[in-house]
Structure 1
Amino acid sequence: MVRLSLGLLSVLTLAGCSWFSAEPSRVENPVVRGVDYVGMTVSNLERSSVLYQKAADLTPSDITQIDSHPVVNSLVGRDGAKAKSRLLTSVNAQLKLTEFTQPAAKAANTPHLEVYGPGIAHVCYQVAKHTHTYETFLANGATPIGDPEMIHLNPKNPVYYAYAHDPDHILFEVEHVDVQALELPTPPKNEYRIRHVSLATTDMDRSVGFYSHLLEIKDPRRAGSLIKLSGEKLDKIAGQKDAAIEMAWFQIRNLELEIIQYHSPQPTPLNTPRPFDALGYNSVVFDVTDLAAAKALLLEAGGTLVSDARPMDGGYIMYGRDLDGNLLGFQKSADGSPYSSQQFADNGI
């Protein structure tokens, strides 16, 4: 596996595509200390594993068989749920893919999530340009949602962007960074990393308030609050006409949480949450130091509790929902656990 650190590149990329004010600040010992994984429901575990391994250099774990696990049963709303899952790991974060043997009819009939949400919209892969990650995705079954060519947003910043769907119509973003154009004095260490998971919201201020309290971060970076971000290049990336957006970012140790609101086209709030076994991103699971403290923060922020802590994956996990109905897991496990965010040396930088 060839790797090259994009830690510095992350900073440069953000500086190039965002318009920030105050620097964010966080308490010294936050309850949420990282992101264990982003959950995905897929139709074919092997096909998805091969795709993300080839294109994004993710390392697959062994497959775990799920047969009527109490936690999974509660998430899908029925007893006897059967599935298989595996982790796909990068240098700084990971995905947990799950394929259900028989998804519920409601899940099977749930339409795919649009780029504007609301919901867990996409995962972003930030890579060195010479890896040809975007082209590898397309060669292995992915399809662009906008312009098939990557878009260079800012001439001063050597980063190229594209949104695409995988074969399950699950949205992802690729950022190609032209490392040579950066002229760095020291060669970077990692060529591939997962940069962020993006939540598309119907109310930016409300979501920022929720996650500021939950994550104990003040003054997150924001863009488009006063003048919405728009233009022909954005339309080409998002595959939408006259798109207008605003954004915010929370850095949670090893992974960035991006909040995005489309003001055009405007998303329609969901009456009920997306089923856990519907194709797409099904959860964001946080690594926490204390489950009781995490529960308190969730409820104080205005979220709802889905289930109290129960054993799973060698630790304990609790679930709740944010103000848009996104499913959030709060997991406490040993630092040596393959699920723990603490396994990533230097957060993948």
Structure 2
Amino acid sequence: MIKGIHHVTLVVCDLDAAQRYYGAIAGMKPLPGAGAAALAVVDRQIGGMGFDHCLLAGRNGYLLLVAPHWTAGAPAPVANPINRPGIRHFCVQNHDVAPLATAVAAQGGSLIAAPLDLGTGNQYAYARDPEDNIMEIEGLPYAPVGEPTWLAHVALVTRDMDAAVTFYSALFATEPNSRGRFGPGPQLDRMGGLVDAQLEGAWLPAGNLQLELWQFHTPTSPTEPARHPFDSGYGRLCLESDDLDADAARLVALGGALLTESLESDRLRAILGSDPEGNLIEIVELRTAGAALAIAALADPDICARVEAGR
């Protein structure tokens, strides 16, 4: 059974700068010890080059930063549009979006547009880090004042919403708690830096976080080549499981694919696969020696559900 979204990987050029950026804005801290090394088992197996890494722990989720040792030099950052297919961003929330926006600027990032209201009463903005990777920042007026920043969701852009909802609902053994169509409208265009944006969204509970799915009807998502784990930007979604073999088999039965055999260490077992569109999914089962890396070991894994219950 999938227990939740353990982490997303983010491939960067400057590991120290990325650590400072996400630490300052998302309140994430490097996990001491050998945690990052344990969770980099997939990268060691198929990366094809050396790399440095850092595992950042938030209140209810992790971010694995990976800095490859590119033999021909690091590629130049690319400002990908928000409708590019694949993992597009993760989102952090707070009662007040203003300190998050201030921290983005202080750390050398930028906003696509100033925080704005899309009609929900919340404040939203997309932030680009110095390497142009996107993180969403949100202010929720109903959240408790003074509640430290937490992670809310990971967003994935799909070309087929119905198929994606069917796949991930079955994989997570859940159902969407919300789904709808949005746009066109000036606020939506301003937030995403697009023109005449019309899209469909769905939100699936996934334990500690939500999975946010988007399909862009206009402008449609550009065609993408198959992704390598060390391509710049968001690399893969990592799911924590209590039964790796059963969840890997379910992923295949639902139309996904396995790309490696089971990879093992003293702390965990892991396997790399993909969803039917080719988005990379890692499934990890932690052993007793890896219990300190579990979602349950984080400071507040239930914060999303608690904040929403207090609306």
**Residues 170 and 312 of structure 1: CA distance in aligned 2, closer, same or farther (over 3 Å):** farther
**Structure 1, gaps ≥5 residues long:** 1-30
Kindly indicate whether the alpha-carbon contact (under 8 Å) linking 1:40 and 1:282 is maintained by their aligned counterparts in 2: yes
**Residues 153 and 112 of structure 1: CA distance in aligned 2, closer, same or farther (over 3 Å):** closer
Q: What is the letter of the counterpart of residue 302 of structure 2?
A: N
Distance 1:219 1:243 in 2: 23
* 1:152 correspondence with 2:135: no
**Residues 112 and 328 of structure 1: CA distance in aligned 2, closer, same or farther (over 3 Å):** farther
Kindly indicate whether the alpha-carbon contact (under 8 Å) linking 1:84 and 1:99 is maintained by their aligned counterparts in 2: yes
Runs of 4+ in structure 1 over 3 Å off: 62-66, 107-113
Q: Which moved more, 1:163-172 or 1:108-117?
A: 108-117
TM-score, normalising length: structure 1: 0.79
**150, 165, 175: which one aligns with 2:128:** 165
**Residues 193 and 83 of structure 1: CA distance in aligned 2, closer, same or farther (over 3 Å):** same
Q: What is the letter of the counterpart of residue 51 of structure 1?
A: Y
* 1:113 correspondence with 2:80: yes
**Residues 110 and 205 of structure 1: CA distance in aligned 2, closer, same or farther (over 3 Å):** farther
Look up the SS of the partner of 2:213 in the other structure.
strand
* 1:72 correspondence with 2:72: no
Cα offset for 1:122? 0.5
**91, 95, 104: which one aligns with 1:128:** 95
Cα offset for 1:221? 2.2
* 1:54 correspondence with 2:54: no
Distance 2:76 2:21 in 1: 24
Distance 1:42 1:223 in 2: 33
Cα offset for 1:219? 4.7
1:129-181 deviations in Å (ceiling 9; x for gaps): 17611121122111222x2x211122xx4311111211111011100223xxx
**Residues 244 and 210 of structure 1: CA distance in aligned 2, closer, same or farther (over 3 Å):** same
Kindly indicate whether the alpha-carbon contact (under 8 Å) linking 1:254 and 1:347 is maintained by their aligned counterparts in 2: yes
**273, 279, 302: which one aligns with 1:347:** 302
Partner of 2:106: 139
Distance 1:104 1:248 in 2: 40
Distance 2:61 2:195 in 1: 33
TM-score, normalising length: structure 2: 0.88
Kindly indicate whether the alpha-carbon contact (under 8 Å) linking 2:7 and 2:237 is maintained by their aligned counterparts in 1: yes
Q: What is the letter of the counterpart of residue 59 of structure 1?
A: K
Kindly indicate whether the alpha-carbon contact (under 8 Å) linking 1:159 and 1:175 is maintained by their aligned counterparts in 2: yes
Partner of 1:317: 270
Cα offset for 1:123? 0.7
Partner of 2:309: none
Look up the SS of the partner of 1:113 in the other structure.
coil
Partner of 1:92: 60
Distance 1:75 1:325 in 2: 16
**273, 278, 281: which one aligns with 1:328:** 281
Aligned-pair RMSD on alpha carbons?
Answer: 2.5
Aligned residues: 300
Partner of 1:24: none
Cα offset for 1:83? 1.2
Look up the SS of the partner of 1:307 in the other structure.
coil
Distance 2:130 2:109 in 1: 6
1:32-60 deviations in Å (ceiling 9; x for gaps): 11121111111111101111111221112
Distance 1:46 1:203 in 2: 37
Kindly indicate whether the alpha-carbon contact (under 8 Å) linking 1:104 and 1:277 is maintained by their aligned counterparts in 2: no
Q: Percent identity?
A: 27
Partner of 2:175: 218
Kindly indicate whether the alpha-carbon contact (under 8 Å) linking 2:125 and 2:137 is maintained by their aligned counterparts in 1: yes
Kindly indicate whether the alpha-carbon contact (under 8 Å) linking 1:59 and 1:90 is maintained by their aligned counterparts in 2: yes
**Structure 2, gaps ≥5 residues long:** 307-311
Kindly indicate whether the alpha-carbon contact (under 8 Å) linking 1:113 and 1:280 is maintained by their aligned counterparts in 2: no
Partner of 1:229: 183
Q: What is the letter of the counterpart of residue 98 of structure 1?
A: V
* 1:176 correspondence with 2:129: no
Kindly indicate whether the alpha-carbon contact (under 8 Å) linking 1:143 and 1:165 is maintained by their aligned counterparts in 2: yes
* 1:290 correspondence with 2:243: yes
